[in-house]
Structure formats: C-alpha cells, structure tokens
Amino acid sequence: MAFNVADYKTSVHNNWCPGCGDFGILNAIQMSLMDMQLDPERVTVFSGVGCSSKTPHYINTYGVHTLHGRVLPFATGGKLANPEMTVLAVGGDGDGLGIGAGHFVATGRLNLDITYIMFNNGVYGLTKGQASPTLHLGQQTKSLPNPNIIHEINPLILALSSGYTFIARGYAYDVAQLKALIRQGIEHPGLSFIDILQPCPTYNNINTRDWFGGADRKGEDGKAMPRVYKLDPNLYDPLISAETTDEEIHQKIAAFFAKATEWGDQIPSGVLLQNLTQSTYEERVIESLPKYKKNPPAKRQIESDNKPVLKINTILDELRVA
C-alpha cells in the first residue's frame, strides 16, 4: 500500500495567517512522511501550544497538541511506552526555548529516538508578537513597545550542550531541503533537533522572508543575495562516528560552533551535527531491562481473564517476616 501526500493531510481548516512560514514546514513534514512511506497510523506528532503547535491538527497521523512548553515530556512518555511509533515533536521557539527550556535540556540528556522540529520565528506568535527567546538583543519588532532587552539564545548551541545527537537547521521556504532534513532527522537513531527559520509575516517585521532571501542585498547582477545558504558537504562534515578521533571531535565542535554562531549576512542551513557514538535511551533501558525490547509498556499483557498476572508471592517472599 502506497501513501500519497494527501494521506497525510486533514480536512481541518488551517487558520494560520496568509504567508506564514508555518505552511512550508507543514508541507515539508507531510512530504517527508510520504517519502518514507510511514503509515500515518503508526506516527504521532506531538506539539506544544502556539501558532506552530496547531500543526498536528493539519497532519493526518495521530496528533497530540499538548501544553505550552511541554511537548517534549509528553512525547517522551509516548515514545518510551510505545517505541515502535515514529514520534515527531513540533512547536514554537517560545514553546521550546522559553517556557520549555528546562525540558529542552532534560530531553537532550535522554537521547531517545524522536525528532524535534522547532518553528523559529523570533516571536510569541499566538499571543501577539512578544519577543521570543530567539529574538536578538536590541531588536524591536512590530508589537514591542521597547527594544528587546533580553539576550537571544542560540538554539543550535543549546542543543549541542544538551546532548542532541542530530542538529540541523532548515528554512521554512526551502521545502525541498527541509523535507530531506526531516527525513534524516527521523532516520537518525537518537534525538534529532531541527531549528527552522520561520518568517512570521504578521509580527516579525525584521526577520522576514525578504530579509532571509536577501531582498535588501542585491548582488552585482541585481539579484537578491539570500542570507540563508546551504552548508557545503565538501567543506563541512557534521558526522561524528565511532571512527572519529577525540582530536577530530574537538575540531568538529569548533567548526560547529563557528557555523552555529554565523548570523546576519550569512546564515547556514543543513545538518550541523550528527553524532552516532551515543547510545539511545531505549538501548540503555534494554541493557538493564531486556524485556523492554519485546514488550514495551504499551504492549505488555497486564491481565488474564481480568486477573492480575503478577506473581505477587515472589515479591512478598522477599518481605516475609513470619
């Protein structure tokens, strides 16, 4: 049975603003699922709360639209209980790096096999355009009464420090690249993070589609020189594998750092890091609890004819006093 892209779409009316970057991301997710021919009923898309977090309602898989900032813990519980499911987590920059920053870090440490896609628009969209954690210091978008006095966070570097083993950046209007990145993220065995530059035409009048596209920077040929560029695989190798030496790792981290901090006129996109040397959380569980592999929590049989299956006496014997 082959799934086509329509199989990943719902009929729910999409109420994002016209021109919102979210549309591109939504398409890319749907296309990557199709690309991989993932059975929509075996996929769950979790989200937080925000414009971007409405995404699951538009994707015809299982969808879990959770709480503001809590997408990762929800997704963690779902994935660990049913590891056979493909799990995507999606949400805004406010969701993931504002109220959700603690979970962003904690989940990084687990390296469980989910893919986290962050719609990074520099604002809290759904609450009408306040500065989000990625809005740069000193910038004043439309709805701010004063320039932003809180320093931005760099999502890529935070992901690195938190232990994400696949770190990429995409751009909402480069759906082809995005689709590939999401697929790579899903295929990566471990926790993937994809930071997506997402213009919010309604509230972010600084990092606009024009700005990312370099409409204000015409080259000699009169063409816009886009700010977002793709990492050249010949010049930048994001892979850390068992063969990579410590020395090389340090070099790669330094290169990662250099790329991750590029901003302004040159904004790299593509895979910035893929680390294959870390075990996943699921593997670690199996090490101490081999039964998990065959019978993860969602699949365990807990009753037989409505009676508990636990052999309780075995445990009671340990506690026996008479």
Partner 1 sequence: MDLKGQSFSWCVGGAQGSGVDSAANLFARACAFGGFHVFGNREYYSNIIGEHSYFEVRISDEPVLGHTSSVDLLTTFDAETPFLHLDQISEGGALLYDASLVDVPLEKLPTIEPRAKQDLAKMFDEHGLPHTLDAIIQLARQRNISLHAIPYEDVLKADDALGQLPFSTLKRMVNTMSVAASFALIGYDFSYFHKALEAIFQSKPKVVEMNAKAAQLAFDYTKKEMGEPTLPQLKPLEVNEPRVYINGNQAVGLGKLAGGCSVQTYYPISPATDESTFLEQHQSFDVEQGDDGSILVLQTGDEIAAICSAIGAALTGARAATSTSSPGFSLMAEGLGWAGINETPVVVTLYQRGGPSTGLPTRSEQADTQFALNIGHGEFPRIVLASGDLEEAFYDAIRIFNYAEKYQTPAIHLLDKALANFGKTFSYFDLSKVEIERGALLKDSQLTAGADFNRFSFQENGISPRSVLGQPGGRTWYSGDEHLEDGHMSEDPINRDRMMEKRAQKLVVALEEIPTEDQYTLHGPSDAETTLVSYGSPKGALLEAIQRLNSSGHAVNYLQARLLSPFPAQAFTEILSKSKLKIGIEANFSGQFSQWVQQHTCVKMEHLVVKYNGRPITVDEVEAAVLNILSGNAPQKVVLRHGI
Ligand X SMILES: Cc1ncc(C[n+]2csc(CCOP(=O)(O)OP(=O)(O)O)c2C)c(N)n1
| Distance in Å, CB of 189 to ligand X, minimum | 28
Q: Between residues 235 and 321, which has the closer beta carbon with respect to partner 1? A: 321
Structure tokens at 111: 């390296």
| Distance in Å, CB of 303 to partner 1, minimum | 4
Site for ligand SF4 in 20-39 (CB under 6 A): 20, 22
The reply on whether position 61 binds a second copy by CB under 8 A is no
The reply on whether position 132 binds Mg ion by CB under 5 A is yes
Contacts 24+ apart (CB under 8 A), 159-162: 159/104, 159/108, 159/193, 159/195, 160/253, 160/256, 160/260, 160/273, 161/105, 161/108, 162/104, 162/105, 162/107, 162/108, 162/109
**Interface residue with Mg ion, options 93, 152, 174, 195 (CB under 5 A):** 93
The span from the CA of 216 to the CA of 248, in Å, is 39
The reply on whether position 250 binds a second copy by CB under 8 A is yes
The reply on whether position 268 binds a second copy by CB under 8 A is no
Count of beta carbons in the 10 Å neighbourhood of residue 230? 15
Structure tokens at 134: 């990625």
The reply on whether position 125 binds ligand SF4 by CB under 6 A is yes
The reply on whether position 207 binds ligand SF4 by CB under 6 A is no
The reply on whether position 68 binds a second copy by CB under 8 A is no
HSE-CB for 255 with a 13 A CA cutoff: 18
Interacting span for partner 1 (CB under 8 A) from 59-67, 211-219, 226-234, 261-269 = 59-67
CB burial string 258-288: b at 16+ within 10 A, e below = ebbeeeeeebbbbbbbbbeebebbbbebbee
Contact of residue 121 among a second copy, partner 1, ligand SF4, none (CB under 5-8 Å per partner type):
ligand SF4
Q: Between residues 47 and 192, which has the closer beta carbon with respect to ligand X? A: 47
Instruction: Kindly list the residues in this chain that would bind ligand X in the complex (CB under 6 A).
Output: 49-52, 68, 91-95, 119, 121, 123-127, 132
Q: Between residues 17 and 286, which has the closer beta carbon with respect to ligand SF4? A: 17
Count of beta carbons in the 10 Å neighbourhood of residue 319? 6
| Distance in Å, CB of 171 to partner 1, minimum | 22
- Reduced to 3 states (helix: H, G, I; strand: E, B; else coil), residue 252 is helix
Total number of residues that touch partner 1 (CB under 8 A): 95
Q: Which residue in this structure is represented by tokens 């049989």?
A: 301
**Measured in whole angstroms, how far is the alpha carbon of residue 298 from the centre of its chain?**
24
Q: Between residues 12 and 253, which has the closer beta carbon with respect to a second copy? A: 253
The reply on whether position 5 binds partner 1 by CB under 8 A is no
What DSSP assignment string belongs to 44-92? Answer: EEEE-SSSGGGGGGGBSSEEEE--TT-HHHHHHHHHHH-TTSEEEEEEE
The reply on whether position 6 binds partner 1 by CB under 8 A is no
| Distance in Å, CB of 301 to a second copy, minimum | 24
Question: Which residues bind to ligand SF4, rule: CB under 6 A?
Answer: 16-17, 20, 22, 51, 121, 125, 200-203
Binding residues for a second copy, per CB under 8 A?
97-106, 108-111, 133, 137, 146-147, 149-154, 157-158, 160-163, 250, 253-254, 257-258, 278, 281, 284-285, 287-288
